[in-house]
Amino acid sequence: MSSIILEAREIRYRYPRGMEAICGISFHIRKKEKIALVGPNGAGKSTLLAMFNGMIRPDSGVLLFDNQPVRYDTASLRMLRKRVGFVLQNPDRQIIAPTVYQDVAFGPTNLGYPEQEVKRVAAQALRHVGLEGFEHRPPHQLSGGEKKRVAIAGVLAIDPDVLVLDEPTSGLDPSGSEDIMELLDELNHEGKTIIISTHNVELAYPWVDRAILMLEGKILEEGIPEKAFGNPEYVRRAHLSLPTLLELHIELQKRGFHLQGKKPHTVLDMMQAIETLFEKTYSSASPGAITIYNVDRHSPESFSSWHSEHSWVSIGAMGTRAKQRAENERIHLDFTYGVIDKCILRALLGENSLIMTTETMVDRVYQRVDSYVKESGIPIVVNMMEGGLP
Amino acid sequence: MFEELLEDIAQKNGLREVNTNLKLATGLGAILLCLLSSSYFPPLFIALVLTGAILFLARVDPKTYAELFIVPLWFAIMSVAGIILISGGQDIFWKWNILPSFSLSVTRESINQGIFVFCRVLGGMSALCFISLTTPMTTIFTVLRQCRIPEIIIELMMIIYRTIFILMDQVVQIYTAQVMRLGYSTVKESIHSCATLCGAAFIASWDAGEDLIQAMDARCYTGKFAVLGENRPVERGPLLALFAFLSLSAAIVIFSGNSTII
């Protein structure tokens, strides 16, 4: 287990002339964790998030960052804010400069980076969120999802260890929300700790490592998603709804189906549980193969030659740059979210599939498929696409 | 209520990628020549060339451009009518003595003067339109910095620029909400709604200000605003075009002298 990066001990906070927003909360967050704070409006989620980068100072209790108590003098706050990036709920409130580039460069400039370095990190941050070529656009001409990405890029440019996002998917369409969640996944994979607040249980449930259920300034339940979302009574009190998969699992068990293994996290887990239950095996067809198209290494030509031989496969793209590449090359995508699981599902049906992804995410595909193969004993083959490799 | 702002047109005009200094030089040079000229012809020539540039090079919608011209054009026509009637001269075409000490007249000199002023207005307007339709504000910040305008002023301008659009959004939303609930159906109602709109806009701007400080602090603000803006390199084509335009206009200014239309 990795070390603790953020810890709260009995923190309390009361708004001036208002009610107590945080009533004695203790918890800890480890490095590289994906955490979601969930709860109804007014539960104190945003207040708690604003404490993580020192924008709100608790009335009592201690907040520790990297095992040091947070100090509230200007210099310490600056250091804290360099390491804890905060993305506000409303990107219009977060974006302050007249062009996208100037906004993303705001943080690095204030940290005193030399001009060349500012240019480099800003370009890199924009590339990360898939907004290359948007440098000179004024923010008021962008769509909601694009604004959100600019806001995230502005924070990424200062390269924080922890990213705190208040309602990252609010006001976005379902596919936009999925894209943002995947971007956060990608960032997490690169080693950043991610803390979000959200109402969207269906998106949070398969995504988080741990969830913290909040109600009236207190922690109601905390733990792995199956546990945090698994208690119908708590979920109801927190004005949320059970994730569909968990509800289905509970209902099946009530009807006397004893599903094996852990509670389902994804559709794939559920399928596996049901299939073990009915002892259905894949004797009829051998499982399909998954091919990886690494957009950082493979050339578009090697893809088109591959695609001409395998024109009927499903294609999924994982990661912002992979999706961008697909758009540029006019590749029709069948999946854009939960890609690995969907490809495994296809493979189980005996169909082949292709995953477009970036260098950093290639391991992820192997890990996920390997762990599935170990668990289920069904041999699914992952290939690297041929050609273009140095 | 607010359809398309000039800034939005400027952000996607055909000359956006041309060096900002060249575009500003074109507009400002044109205004200067309009003022230096003492004949009606050079401003007219400048107006025609710049209008051509706006419509064909910058590809601005002709209708939008015409609408932009309507208000100042009305103003110009009224003033010119006044000038023609009031300013006197030797060669009288028509005269009306209203009062013993005051008369209205149309003379050769007054017509020439009126047309001269009118052409100047056209020339000046088209030059201003050229700047505002081809040069987005975001690129002007860079030029201002090159001109050694104090950083604090540029920073304020940048923040104001960004805030205008946020505030504008808010105002449009409140206004729509008012219209949907018949806020402007009677005169009395309109006054009331307008007052509420102003109040709400004030509160919104106050909030936006507080959020701005938070957003800046959250990204380690120490008093620096990235002004590393964009500017395109000076290219040969636009530079030659600018040079040709200004020297041709200057030549016309010199050679047309005091020539008049009648």
Is the Cβ of B148 closer than 8 Å to some Cβ of chain A?
no
* Model pLDDT for residues A191-230, shown as the tens digit of each residue: 999 999 998 888 888 899 999 999 888 998 899 988 888 8
Average pLDDT, chain B: 86
Pairing mode, strands A193-198 and A34-38 = parallel
Q: Which of the four pLDDT bands, split at 50, 70 and 90, describes residue B1?
A: very low
Burial category of A128 from C-beta neighbours within 10 Å (exposed 0-12, middle 13-18, buried 19 and up) = buried
Query: Order of strands, edge to edge, in the sheet holding A353-357?
Result: A314-317, A353-357, A290-294, A382-384
Which of B11, B158, B228 is facing A141, going by the closest CB pair?
A: B11
Look at residue A77 and tell me whether its pLDDT is greater than 80. yes
Is the Cβ of B147 closer than 8 Å to some Cβ of chain A?
no
> CA triplet B27, B32, B33: central angle to 5 degrees?
100
Q: Which of the four pLDDT bands, split at 50, 70 and 90, describes residue B51?
A: very high
* Model pLDDT for residues A280-339, shown as the tens digit of each residue: 665 556 788 888 888 888 888 888 888 888 777 888 888 888 888 888 888 888 888 888
The verdict on a CB contact (< 8 Å) between A53 and B218 is yes
Q: Which residues of chain A does B137 touch, with a Cβ-Cβ cutoff of 8 Å?
A: 98
Q: Which residues of chain A does B218 touch, with a Cβ-Cβ cutoff of 8 Å?
A: 53, 55, 81, 85-86, 88
Look at residue A235 and tell me whether its pLDDT is greater than 80. yes
Name the residue type at position B25: A
Look at residue B194 and tell me whether its pLDDT is greater than 50. yes
Confidence (pLDDT) at A387? 65
Count of CB atoms within 10 A of residue A373's CB? 16
Token pair in block for residue B201: 């806009």
Is the Cβ of B17 closer than 8 Å to some Cβ of chain A?
no
| Number of CB pairs, chain A paired with chain B, less than 8 A apart | 106
> What number is the average pLDDT over the span A243-263?
83
* Pairwise pLDDT comparison (B231 vs A180), residue with the higher score: A180
Is the Cβ of B261 closer than 8 Å to some Cβ of chain A?
no
Which of B11, B212, B220 is facing A82, going by the closest CB pair?
A: B220
Token pair in block for residue B28: 């400002």
Confidence (pLDDT) at B85? 87
Which of B208, B214, B228 is facing A55, going by the closest CB pair?
A: B214
> CA triplet A277, A283, A288: central angle to 5 degrees?
100
The answer to whether B136 and A141 have CB atoms below 8 angstroms apart is no
Q: Which residues of chain B does A110 touch, with a Cβ-Cβ cutoff of 8 Å?
A: 219-224
Is the Cβ of B206 closer than 8 Å to some Cβ of chain A?
no
Is the Cβ of A160 closer than 8 Å to some Cβ of chain B?
no
Confidence (pLDDT) at B165? 84
A146-150, A223-227, A245-249, B13-17 — which one is most confidently predicted on average? A146-150
Identify the closest residue of chain B to A103 by CA–CA distance. Answer: B226
The angle that helices A339-348 and A267-277 make with each other, rounded to 10 degrees, is 30
Which of B136, B214, B219 is facing A154, going by the closest CB pair?
A: B219
The verdict on a CB contact (< 8 Å) between B230 and A111 is no
The verdict on a CB contact (< 8 Å) between B226 and A55 is no
The answer to whether B179 and B196 have CB atoms below 8 angstroms apart is no
Q: Which of the four pLDDT bands, split at 50, 70 and 90, describes residue A63?
A: very high
Note the helical H segments in chain A.
45-52, 74-83, 91-94, 100-104, 106-110, 115-128, 144-156, 174-189, 201-207, 225-228, 232-237, 244-254, 267-277, 300-309, 320-328, 339-348, 359-376
What is the distance between the alpha carbons of residues A290 and A366, in angstroms, rounded to a whole number? 10
Confidence (pLDDT) at B2? 47
* Model pLDDT for residues A155-200, shown as the tens digit of each residue: 999 999 999 999 998 888 888 888 889 889 889 988 999 999 998 8
Look at residue A150 and tell me whether its pLDDT is greater than 70. yes
